[in-house]
């Protein structure tokens, strides 16, 4: 149950990042745009890895760690936590689960972390488009 919830949060994060990348496509430096066979991919063909990578590099989801760096919750930013959500989402593949999480279960703690990361990521992305979530809430928009 918790694994499925983490996967769904990962899918929701992917959708949000896809929307932001599509809206702000012209702001993304050409060297960050994913390619296949030397040809730029359309935004709809970008994977969650690409989307999180771009969001980190564009500082839409700031990060304090580099890929492969030892985890440090003191240095980690929301972009680093988004990488964790991506990794948990990828556990949908049975071989990935066996390889990355041998003899471990995805518990409520993982789910709560994903949920918090998603909420904070949305706050950052909404700030990118110039709309405060608190202002929208106070106006009854959600």
Contact 20, 127 (CB under 8 A): no
Comparing 47 with 137, the larger pLDDT belongs to 47
Ranges of each domain in the chain: 2-138
Alpha-carbon separation of residue 73 from 9, 41, 42, 77, 124 (angstroms): 21, 34, 34, 8, 18
How much is the pTM? 0.85
Checking if the pLDDT of 142 tops 60, the result is no
Per-residue pLDDT band for 31 (boundaries 50, 70, 90) equals very high
Checking if the pLDDT of 141 tops 60, the result is no
Where residue 88 falls (left for φ over 0; alpha for ψ -120 to 50; beta otherwise) is alpha
Contact 85, 117 (CB under 8 A): yes
Give one DSSP letter per residue of the chain, joined into a string.
-HHHHHHHHHHHHHHHHHHHHHHTGGGS-GGGS-EETTEEPPGGG--HHHHHHHHHHTTSS--SS-TTPPP-TTT--HHHHHHHHHHHHGGGSHHHHHHHSTT----HHHHHHHHHHHHHHHHHHHHHTT--HHHHHHTT--
Checking if the pLDDT of 87 tops 70, the result is yes
């Amino acid at each position: 149950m918790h694994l499925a919830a983490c996967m769904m949060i990962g899918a929701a994060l992917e959708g949000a990042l896809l929307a932001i990348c599509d809206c702000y496509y012209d702001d993304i430096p050409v060297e960050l745009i994913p390619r296949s066979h030397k040809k730029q991919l359309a935004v709809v063909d970008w994977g969650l890895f690409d989307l999180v990578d771009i969001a980190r590099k564009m500082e839409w989801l700031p990060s304090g760690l580099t890929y492969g760096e030892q985890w440090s919750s003191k240095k980690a930013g929301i972009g680093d936590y988004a990488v964790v959500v991506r990794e948990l989402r990828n556990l949908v593949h049975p071989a990935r689960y066996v390889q990355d999480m041998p003899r471990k279960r995805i518990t409520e703690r993982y789910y709560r972390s994903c949920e918090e990361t998603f909420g904070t990521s949305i706050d950052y992305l909404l700030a990118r488009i110039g709309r405060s979530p608190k202002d929208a809430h106070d106006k009854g928009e959600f």
